[in-house]
């Protein structure tokens, strides 16, 4: 859940109505506005977070600012009466530059599992951090190609498959570069044939980060 976005309160209510869902904090640095005021390096001239393109080159931000902002986003989540199952980040921004050091500091502080999207060396240096054995970014490949998915399950015990299912509205259409594929993912995930195909693969359990 992105706690700096307009739909935060609605998302929190849905999470409470569906307690079996695993809901984590989706830390934000590249979309919308920060929760805290006074940042000098995280925002543009209008006070909005810098776009992802800024971080794709060499960049320099105040990591103390980043720590305070991300901690505020986690605390906002907790203030909504929710317990996060894990931490990850929007646009995988936790894996850019030295951002991962702040991310790991918060992971240890809140003792939460994480998405497996950082360099393998990071997890070797921090073996106590909990994550899945494998992270699959391509839902189109992993869920449509059952042979591929079967091979993945043979190799790994726990797998996270990233998805972005959604109904489109003006907010998404004007603020996201990832639009119509969300509808395709929604259709795929709610297709009864997907469940049937997964059941045919054998001993597969739908889990959350609570089970890691």
Distance, in Å, from the CA atom of 47 to the CA atom of 184, rounded to the nearest integer, reads 34
Structure token digits, residue 52 = 């992802």
> Is there a contact between 62 and 68 (Cβ–Cβ < 8 Å)?
no
User: What pLDDT is stored for residue 141 in this prediction?
Assistant: 62
pLDDT of residue 205: 87
The model's pLDDT over 189-204, given as tens digits with 9 standing for 90+, comes to: 888 887 887 787 778 8
pLDDT digits (tens, 9 = 90+) for 43-82: 999 999 999 999 999 999 999 999 999 999 999 999 999 9
Residue 61: per-residue pLDDT: 98
Q: State residue 146's pLDDT score.
A: 67
Is 31 within 8 Å of 175 (Cβ atoms)?
A: yes
- 10-residue block means of pLDDT along the chain (212 residues)? 96 97 98 97 98 96 99 99 98 97 98 96 92 85 68 86 86 80 85 82 87 92
Write the secondary structure of the chain as one string of H (helix), E (strand) and C (coil): CCCCCCCHHHHHHHHHHCCCCCCCEEECCCCCCCCCCCCCCCECCCCCECCHHHHCCCCCCCHHHHHHHHHHHHHHHHHCCCCCCCEEEHHHHHHCCCHHHHHHHHHHHHCCCECCCCCHHHHHHCCCCCCCCEEECCHHHHHHCHHHHHHHHHHCCCEEECCCCCCCCHHHHHHCCCCHHHHHHHHHHCCHHHHHHHHHCCCCCCCCHHHC
pLDDT at res. 204: 84
Q: Please report the pLDDT score of residue 38 as a whole number.
A: 96
Which of 110, 165, 113 shows the shortest CA–CA distance to 143? Answer: 165
Q: What is the pLDDT of residue 170?
A: 87
**Domains of the chain, earliest start first:** 1-131 (3.20.20.370), 132-212 (no CATH)
Q: What pLDDT was estimated at residue 158?
A: 93
Among 166, 152, 132, 52, residue whose Cα is nearest residue 99: 52
CA–CA separation, 23 and 74 (whole Å): 12
């Amino acid at each position: 859940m992105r706690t700096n976005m307009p739909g935060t309160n609605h998302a929190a209510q849905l999470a409470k109505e569906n307690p079996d869902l695993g809901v984590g904090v989706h830390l934000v640095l590249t979309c919308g506005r920060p929760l805290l005021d006074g940042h000098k390096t995280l925002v543009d001239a209008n006070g909005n977070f810098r776009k992802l393109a800024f971080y794709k080159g060499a960049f320099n931000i105040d990591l103390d600012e980043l720590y305070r902002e991300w901690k505020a986003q986690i605390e906002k989540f907790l203030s909504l009466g929710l317990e996060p199952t894990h931490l990850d980040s929007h646009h995988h921004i936790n894996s850019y530059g030295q951002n991962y050091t702040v991310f790991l500091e918060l992971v240890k502080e809140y003792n939460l599992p994480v998405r497996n999207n950082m360099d393998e060396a990071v997890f070797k240096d921090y073996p106590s951090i909990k994550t899945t054995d494998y992270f699959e970014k391509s839902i189109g490949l992993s869920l449509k190609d059952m042979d591929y998915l079967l091979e993945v399950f043979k190799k790994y015990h726990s797998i996270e498959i990233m998805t972005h299912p959604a109904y489109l509205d003006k907010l998404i259409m004007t603020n996201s570069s990832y639009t119509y594929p969300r509808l395709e993912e929604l259709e795929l995930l709610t297709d009864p044939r997907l469940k049937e195909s997964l059941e045919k693969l054998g001993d597969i359990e739908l889990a959350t980060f609570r089970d890691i």
